[in-house]
Amino acid sequence: MNKFEKYVLDILDDPVSLGAVVVGMIIILGMVIFASSYWFYFRLMFLNLRRNIIRTALTSVASIVLVFVVTLVWTILWFLNLVTSEKAKDFKAIVTERWQIPSQMPYAYEASLAEGSPANEGDYKIDKNKDAMTWQFYGATIDPEKKTRDNIIFFFCMEPMKMTKMMDGMEEYSATQIADLEKLCDEMVKDKRKIIVGKERLEAINKKIGERIKLTSLNFKGIDLEVEIIGSFPEGRYNQSAILNRDYLNDSMDAYNRQNPNSRHPMTNKSLNLVWIRVPDKEVFQKVENQITSSASFTTPAVKVETASSGISTFLDAYRDLLWGLRFILAPFILATMALIIAVAISISVRERRKEIAVMKVLGFTPAQVLFLVLGEAIMIGAFSGLFSSFGTTMFINNVVGGIKFPIAFFPVFLIPLDAIWWGPAIGIGTALAGSFLPSLSACRVKVSEVFARIS
Amino acid sequence: MDEVISVRVESLTKSFNRGSEKIEVLEELTLNVVSGEFLALMGPSGSGKTTLLNIIAGLDIPSSGSVTVGKNIISSMSETKLASWRTRHVGFVFQFYHLLPVLTAYENVELPLLLLPMTKAQRKIQVMNVLDLVGLTSRIKHLPGQLSGGQQQRVGIARAIVTDPDLIVADEPTGDLDSKSADEILELMTILQKTLGKTIIMVTHDPRAASKAQRILHLEKGKLVKDSRNFSYVSGNVAN
C-alpha cells in the first residue's frame, strides 16, 4: 500500500477527517460552480480586492502567518489528542511499576508480563512474539570526560524485530522505509552490537553511519558498551532516538555480575522499564489487567496496567497547563486576531466603496446580493491565504524542517498531518465570515438616498 | 390622442427628523407625468427636487402619499421588490456618472443586465446596441479613468437605457460637464425621448438644460410652485 492509499484509508476510517474532506470538497465544488455560473461576481470580487493591492496583500500575509501558527499549535494538540484517545480495538497497553516514576521493574518480570501473566485455564495469553515488547532505557555518553547534552544518547533497548511491529509512529513511514528498517533490525539480531540512531542525534554527536563508538553509561554505571552505527530512522519522530538490542545490555549486565559476584550491579533488579502489550479489545484488556494485577508474582514492586492512551495522558499531566493555554488561549486568540484583521480590511474597503455599493443598489442589486459580494471578497482572501499557508506549512515543516521541534513528554518532534491542508481554508473561511459579517451587513444596509445626498 | 400617465404622484409628503426638529422636505405634492414626456425639475437647493426624484425612482420611501409608475404602486413595495423593479423599469443618470472604476465601459453597461435572465450572447447584443447609440463602440475596453467626462456620462446613459426601461431619471446629468459635452448629453437625452419614446425626468439647475425639456416644474420648500410647458421645445422641434 503506498502512502496515498494509506492516507485515503486513514481518512475513511476517521469520521472527523472524512467530514473535513467532504466539507472541503463541497466548498471547492461550490466555488468552482459559483465561479463558472457567476463569473461576473467572481471577477468583480477579484477586481475589488486588486484595487488596493497593498491592503489585500497585507491582510493575506497576516492571515498566512496566523494560519501558520495555528497549524503548528493544532498539530501538537491534534497529535496529543490522537495518542490520548482511547481506541476500542487492537490497542496497546503499558505495564509499569505502580508506585514509582520512572518505572524500574526486575527483568525477571518480563517473561510472564509479556504473556499477560496467564495463570489459570481460560486466562488470556498474549502472543509475546507478536504482541509484546519490552523497553529498557539506557542512557550513555560518548565523552565521559565532558558530558554535554550533545554527546549523550538515549537508547530504547528492545528486541530489534519488534520495532516495526510494535513501536508507535511506524505507520508514518512508507513500505520501502519499513522494509529498510527491517533489514537493519535483522542485522541487529545477528550482531547485538549494532545500533540505529536518529538523524538529529547522529548530527549532535557528530558521528556517521558505519562508525563505531564507545558508550559510557549514565544510568547503568560500569556497563559500558561498544557499538556500531548501522543506520538511521526515516525523518520524523525518532530523529532523536536510538535503538539497542536488549540482549547486549542484559548480557553485559550478566557479565558484570559474574565478574562481581559479591556486589551485583545496583540496576540488576531494576532494568525493565516498560512492557508493551497489544490486546484485541477492551474486554481482553480488562481481563489481562486483572490477570497481572492479581498475580502474586508482581508484588515487589507492584505493577499497574494502563491503556497506552491513559498512560500517555498521565505522563502529559505535567504539561496540563501548557496544553490548556495552547488550546484555550493561544489558538482562540489567534483566530480572533485573524477575524479582526479581516474585519478591519473589509470595513475600510466597504467604507471606501459606499458610493459604488449605492450605485449597484440603484441598478437593482438587492441587499442580499451586496452582502454576498462583500462576504465573497473576504472569503476569497481567507480561503486563498488559508490554503496557501496550510499547504506551504505542511510541505515546509514536514519536508524541509523535518517536523515541529517541540519536545514534550517523549515526543521530540511533531509532523503536520495531511489533514492540516484542510485546516487552512477552513480557518480562513471561518474567520473571514466572522470578520466580514458586520462590514457586509453595513454594506447591504447602505441607504442610497443618504449616500447621494452626501455626494451632492 | 389619449395621454397615458407614466408617473402618478399623489399627496406625497416626505419629512425627517433632525434632532427634535421635524423637517418637511416635500409637502402634499401631486403630479402626473405623461408617458414619453421629457420633464425638468428645477428649484433652489433644498427645495426637494432630488428627494422627489429618488422617491419616483424607488430609492427613497415617502412619509405619506403614493407613487405609481406604470402599473406599479412603488411606494408600498419592499426593498427587494423595488430593487428588481428598478432593474427592469428605471434607468438612472447621475451627475458624477458613478461608473464602477474597476470595470470597463462594456462591463459597466452590462452590469444591470446581469440581474436579468439573459444569455451572454443576448447581453452582448444589447450592450453593443446601446454603446453604438451613444457613440462609444470604440471605447468598450476602456476603464472609466481612461475616458473623458463626456464619454463617462455617455457610458452612464448607455447603462441607464440598456435594460430598455420606460422611465429615465437624471440628477443634474450635465452638472459636471463642460458646455460642449453638456450639449451632447442633452442631445442624446432628447433622442432617447423622441426616438425611443422614453419618459425622462431630469433634475437641473441649468436653464439651458431645462430648455430641452417639454415641461418644467419649479419646486420651492417642498411645494410645486410652477408647472409650465416649454413652448420653445415644441416649436424648436417643429422647426427641426
What pLDDT sits at residue A447?
84
Nearest to B84 among A51, A364, A456 (CB): A364
Partners of A453 on chain B (C-beta within 8 Å) are 50
Q: Which three cell numbers stand for residue A420?
A: 492540516
Coil, strand or helix: which one is B2? coil
CA–CA gap between residue A201 and residue A229 (Å, rounded): 12
Instruction: Report how far apart, in Å, the C-alpha atoms of B226 and of each of A95, B135, B214, B218, B229 are.
Output: 102, 36, 14, 5, 10
Nearest to B98 among A50, A355, A366 (CB): A355
What pLDDT sits at residue A263?
87
- Beta pairing partners, A371: none
Q: Which three cell numbers stand for residue B196?
A: 425611443
Q: Testing the interface with B: which of A357, A360, A363, A447 to mutate, by most B Cβ within 10 A?
A: A363
- Min Cα distance B86 → chain A (Å) is 6
What pLDDT sits at residue A6?
66
Quote the DSSP letter at residue A86.
Answer: P
Q: Quick count: other Cβ atoms within 10 Å of Cβ A370? A: 22
A356: nearest Cα among A36, A51, A42: A51
Q: Do A362 and B59 touch (CB under 8 A)?
A: yes
**Angle made by CA atoms B232, B238, B240, in degrees to the nearest 5:** 100
What pLDDT sits at residue A21?
74
- Min Cα distance B53 → chain A (Å) is 10
Q: Do A363 and B102 touch (CB under 8 A)?
A: no
Q: Are B26 and B222 in contact (CB under 8 A)?
A: yes
Q: Do B54 and A448 touch (CB under 8 A)?
A: yes
* CB-based burial label for A15 (10 Å; 0-12, 13-18, 19+): exposed
- What number is the ipTM of this complex? 0.87
CA–CA gap between residue A372 and residue A437 (Å, rounded): 10
Q: Where are the domains of chain A?
A: 38-84+319-455, 100-301
Tell me the residues of B at the A interface, defined by beta carbons under 8 Å apart: 50-51, 54, 57, 59-60, 79-80, 83-84, 86-88, 92, 94-96, 98, 100-103, 107, 110-112, 114-115, 159, 171-172
Nearest to B60 among A360, A449, A455 (CB): A449
Amino acid at B46: G
DSSP strands (E only) in A65-209: 89-97, 132-141, 152-158, 194-197
Partners of A360 on chain B (C-beta within 8 Å) are 100, 111
Q: Which helix (H) or strand (E) holds A411?
A: strand A411-414
**Angle made by CA atoms B31, B37, B39, in degrees to the nearest 5:** 60
DSSP strands (E only) in chain B: 5-18, 21-34, 38-42, 64-69, 72-73, 90-93, 167-171, 199-203, 215-220, 223-229
- Min Cα distance A24 → chain B (Å) is 29
Coil, strand or helix: which one is B147? coil
A303: nearest Cα among A89, A132, A110: A110
Q: Do A449 and B100 touch (CB under 8 A)?
A: no
Q: Which residues contact A34 (CB under 8 A, 6 or more apart)?
A: A41, A42
Partners of B115 on chain A (C-beta within 8 Å) are 363-365, 369
Is the Cα dihedral A253, A254, A256, A260 positive or negative? Answer: positive
Q: Are B37 and B215 in contact (CB under 8 A)?
A: yes
What pLDDT sits at residue A232?
93
- Beta pairing partners, A226: A214
Number of helices and strands (H, E) in chain B? 8, 10
Write out the DSSP string of A245-308: EHHHHHHHHHHHHHH-TTS--TTTTS-B-EEEEEEEEHHHHHHHHHHHHT-TTSBTTBEEEEEH
Nearest to B92 among A362, A365, A456 (CB): A362
pLDDT in tens, chain A (456 residues): 566 676 677 667 667 667 777 777 777 787 777 777 778 888 888 888 988 899 999 999 999 999 999 999 999 888 888 777 766 666 888 999 988 878 899 999 998 999 988 888 888 999 988 899 999 999 999 988 888 888 899 999 999 999 998 888 887 788 889 999 999 999 999 999 999 999 889 999 999 999 999 999 999 998 999 999 999 998 877 888 899 999 999 999 999 999 988 888 998 889 999 999 998 888 898 999 999 988 888 888 999 998 888 777 877 877 888 888 988 899 999 999 989 998 999 899 888 889 899 999 989 888 888 998 899 899 989 999 999 999 999 889 888 887 888 877 667 778 888 878 888 888 999 999 999 999 999 998 888 878 877 655
Q: Which residue of B has its CA nearest to A38?
A: B114
B103: nearest Cα among B159, B184, B171, B59: B159
**pLDDT tens, residue by residue, B98-157:** 999 999 999 999 999 988 999 989 999 999 999 999 999 999 999 999 999 999 999 999
- Beta pairing partners, B15: B24
Q: Quick count: other Cβ atoms within 10 Å of Cβ B81? A: 14
Quote the DSSP letter at residue A105.
Answer: B
Q: Testing the interface with B: which of A39, A361, A362 to mutate, by most B Cβ within 10 A?
A: A362
Q: Which residue of B has its CA nearest to A51?
A: B102
- Quote the radius of gyration of chain B (alpha carbons, Å): 18
φ, ψ of residue A444 in degrees (nearest 5): -75, -15
Q: Do A365 and B115 touch (CB under 8 A)?
A: yes
Q: Which residues contact A177 (CB under 8 A, 6 or more apart)?
A: A234
B32 — pLDDT class (breaks 50, 70, 90): very high
What pLDDT sits at residue B167?
94
What pLDDT sits at residue A239?
85
CA–CA gap between residue A316 and residue A349 (Å, rounded): 46
- Min Cα distance B54 → chain A (Å) is 7
Coil, strand or helix: which one is A229? strand
Q: Which residues contact A315 (CB under 8 A, 6 or more apart)?
A: A409, A410
Q: Do A40 and B50 touch (CB under 8 A)?
A: no
CA–CA gap between residue B223 and residue A354 (Å, rounded): 31
User: Between β-strands B90-93 and B167-171, what pairing exists: parallel, antiparallel or unpaired?
Assistant: parallel
Q: Which three cell numbers stand for residue A197?
A: 540512531
B67: nearest Cα among B80, B78, B81, B52: B52
Partners of B95 on chain A (C-beta within 8 Å) are 456
What pLDDT sits at residue A451?
82
Q: Do B159 and A363 touch (CB under 8 A)?
A: yes
CA–CA gap between residue B27 and residue B9 (Å, rounded): 12
By residue count, chain B amounts to 240
Is the per-residue pLDDT at B56 higher than 90?
Answer: yes
Go through B159-175 and write b for each residue having 16 or more CB atoms within 10 A of its CB, e for each that does not: bbbbbebbbbbbbbbbb
**pLDDT tens, residue by residue, B72-104:** 999 888 888 888 899 899 999 988 889 999 999
Q: Do A44 and B102 touch (CB under 8 A)?
A: yes
CA–CA gap between residue B177 and residue B183 (Å, rounded): 9
Q: Do A449 and B114 touch (CB under 8 A)?
A: no
Q: Do A364 and B100 touch (CB under 8 A)?
A: no
What pLDDT sits at residue A2?
60
Instruction: Report how far apart, in Å, the C-alpha atoms of A378 and of each of A156, A281, A387, B220 are.
Output: 51, 48, 14, 46
Amino acid at A100: Q
Coil, strand or helix: which one is A123? coil
Q: Testing the interface with A: which of B89, B100, B104 to mutate, by most A Cβ within 10 A?
A: B100
Q: Are A273 and A137 in contact (CB under 8 A)?
A: yes
* CB-based burial label for A369 (10 Å; 0-12, 13-18, 19+): middle
Is the per-residue pLDDT at B239 higher than 50?
Answer: no
- Min Cα distance B173 → chain A (Å) is 12
Q: Which residue of B has its CA nearest to A368?
A: B80
CA–CA gap between residue B223 and residue B12 (Å, rounded): 10
Q: Are B210 and B42 in contact (CB under 8 A)?
A: yes
Mean of all residue pLDDT scores within chain B: 89
pTM of the predicted protein model: 0.71
What pLDDT sits at residue A423?
87
